[in-house]
Chain A
């Protein structure tokens, strides 16, 4: 997510230096899976955003990305819960991954070309298509960001969001007054007190904000996305085996939704006559044997955490998220799994 403050930029310089120093060390090609198996637990870096990753009252992590950590645990260990989730701030998560503190970041890292080439990270499939949005007061009477003129908009200081909104208004030729706010938790107070007409942030954050407003019906999340923020699992570059395990764990949840296989009906699908589904669920073990997986790995993932849609509906739908781009391609979304064969 794009909450990288200016302060974070100097740190990114530091991080780049750290990454450079780390790559100068002998490359550890592969080996992540072996290290995980020896340790007995997958180390996962996460953030704290409602719906995506947050601790519940019992001190257990819950959320959309958390369930992907659990899915990985099933893929690697054939059982749930062998994951150690560690909170990592946006400034330090990439250097920590580089330093080998995590096996994978499921913390909503935006895929960028710079991170792939210069910082030495590999990304799994995009699991969530996010983008900067604008949450506006309904009484302004606007239905799209292009109609905003002369609005007072709250932006988080030092973020890419601050630059994006300036670019957007420069392009549209309209006027706006930015009010920079350091801490996004003050956004709600600023909106409710009428200090600003609208706020702008990654829409994943805005949906959470909408829930916290006293009168959510008085506000509208405008349809435009000012930036592309594809969020994906990130791993250290140079371990293809581990990357493929991550890739196909995510694809399994997407493919299951495409076929309509859910945690509730997966047992019925075991009786399916469709050879593709038989291969997928391990009824026909030839595919799993060929790639060195246990035959029932996908079955267990679906059985335990459910398909993509179930994960989404469990954590994000209650916060008011529509599926939008984050729907199966057959429903007009961007989620598409390569074939399991």
Chain B
């Protein structure tokens, strides 16, 4: 029984696989080239990552070996993931990571899309910021942890999710303003979007770092992490607004006119008729931008904030574990890859699901 089953399955699988690997001269050449590449890359990679690697031990043992120093990651994973956050309170950033990933996962499921989810975002974000900060934010129950000590993965996720939570609704409003027939409003929206899109994100971060403090009243000091979060949120708004506008353009004017003839007001028309159709059209584009933004948070390093990539870099400067760049960056790359690959698989799944409707 199982043999028959296997035969049936394998014939079903192998034939198309064989066709795509060796069907036609071009495919054959590409397959051979790929195999050759793998043969060149894989053995040294396996030697480096596994057979010659040091999995536990000291810096000296690592230097003596020719392979990767995974012992370095054992010692440094705590710093790369959580930076300076005090050891006895590590459960807080861990809980923040779990909560934020949970929130993202929940937002990924179309059947949960609704008012509850929209409310869940600001509430959850307020809670995780308070959990990270402690002190008066939690009524003094948790010890205060200075923003200065935050870093690593929770900061990457916090900045990303906070900026997205602000930028997305703001972008919808901005896109509506740009598509509206009120000239003044449209001009403001167009100016804002075009100016923001003409500035590189690094310049925005330097603005947050250098110029913004001068605009604040004397004595008021906002932490650079908060300043850059504000500026990045404003920056992303412009990009998201353009994607949303693209969606708005796919909804024909007849839709709004029909709704108007039913006696609906502007906001009801947008909420019930136009936006649901428009946003559905651009979900893949929004997810794509979201993934790009997650990677862009690594630019926070230029202002000295300790996002995940910067903690990985800083972990290589410890005199106890000097200069294990490959291992540190491989670790950071793996985390970014898991997050982004998850996002892109989700985007593809969502696209087919929405097309089926």
Give the interface of A toward B (CB within 8 A): 11, 14-15, 18, 21-22, 25-26, 48-51, 54-63, 84-89, 91-92, 95-96, 99-101, 185, 188, 208, 211-212, 214, 315, 318-319
Contact = CB atoms under 8 A, between A and B. Distances in A.
Nearest to B207: A14
A56 B314 CA distance: 9
Contact of B315 (A15, A55, A63, A87): A55
Interface of B: 63, 75-76, 78-79, 82-87, 146, 148-149, 206, 209-211, 213-214, 218, 221, 224, 302-304, 306, 310, 313-323, 325
Contacts of A60: 84
A25 B319 contact: no
Contacts of A99: 210, 213-214
A48 B317 contact: yes
Give the one of A11, A188, A318 with max B CB within 10 A.
A11
A11 B149 CA distance: 26
Given A14-B210, A57-B78, A57-B79, A92 B303 contact: yes
Contacts of B83: 55, 59
B210 A56 contact: no
B316 to A, nearest CB: 8
Nearest to B213: A99
A96 B221 CA distance: 11
Contacts of B317: 48-50, 54-55, 208
Contacts of A92: 206, 209-210, 303-304
A187 B252 CA distance: 58
A212 B84 CA distance: 25
Nearest to A95: B210
Given A185-B316, A208-B317, 19 more contacts: A14-B211, A18-B214, A21-B214, A48-B313, A49-B317, A50-B322, A56-B79, A57-B75, A57-B76, A57-B78, A58-B79, A59-B78, A59-B87, A87-B314, A88-B304, A91-B302, A96-B210, A185-B325, A319-B319
B148 A62 contact: no
B132 to A, nearest CB: 15
Contact of B78 (A58, A188, A214): A58
A91 B206 CA distance: 9
A70 B309 CA distance: 28
Determine the main DSSP class of B at the interface with A: helix
Nearest to B218: A25
Contacts of A100: 213, 221
17 contacts: A25-B218, A26-B218, A54-B314, A54-B318, A57-B76, A57-B321, A59-B83, A60-B84, A62-B318, A84-B148, A85-B148, A87-B304, A92-B304, A100-B213, A101-B221, A212-B323, A319-B319
B200 to A, nearest CB: 11
Nearest to A318: B319
Nearest to B219: A100
Contacts of A56: 79, 318, 320
B176 to A, nearest CB: 35
Contacts of A25: 218
Could you say which of A14, A54, A208, A315 has the most chain B C-beta atoms within 10 Å of its C-beta?
A54
Nearest to A211: B322
Nearest to B77: A57
Contact of A84 (B82, B146, B209, B211): B146
Instruction: For the complex of A and B, list the 6 residue pairs with the smallest distance between their C-beta atoms, beginning with the closest.
Output: A212-B323, A54-B317, A99-B213, A59-B84, A87-B304, A57-B75
Contacts of A89: 302-304
A57 B304 contact: no
A61 B211 CA distance: 28
Contact of B304 (A62, A86, A212): A86
B27 to A, nearest CB: 36
Contacts of A95: 209-210
A283 to B, nearest CB: 36
A61 B319 CA distance: 11
A101 B213 CA distance: 9
Contact of A87 (B75, B306, B316): B306
Contact of B322 (A15, A62, A91, A208): A208
Nearest to A49: B317
Nearest to B151: A59
B226 to A, nearest CB: 13
A244 B87 CA distance: 36
A15 B206 CA distance: 10
A25 B310 CA distance: 34
A18 B210 contact: yes
A48 B314 contact: yes
Contacts of B303: 89, 92
A62 B314 contact: no
Given A11-B206, A92-B210, A50 B218 contact: no
Contacts of B322: 50, 208, 211-212, 319
B71 to A, nearest CB: 11
A88 B85 CA distance: 18
A120 to B, nearest CB: 14
Contacts of A55: 79, 83-84, 314-315, 317-318
Contacts of B63: 214
Given A92-B206, A92-B209, A96-B209, A58 B87 contact: yes
Contacts of A62: 318-319
Nearest to B313: A48
Nearest to B212: A99
A55 B82 CA distance: 12
A57 B319 contact: no
A188 B323 contact: yes
In this complex, which of A84, A87, A99, A185 has the most chain B Cβ atoms within 10 angstroms of its Cβ?
A: A87
Contacts of B146: 84
Contacts of A18: 210-211, 214
A47 B146 CA distance: 19
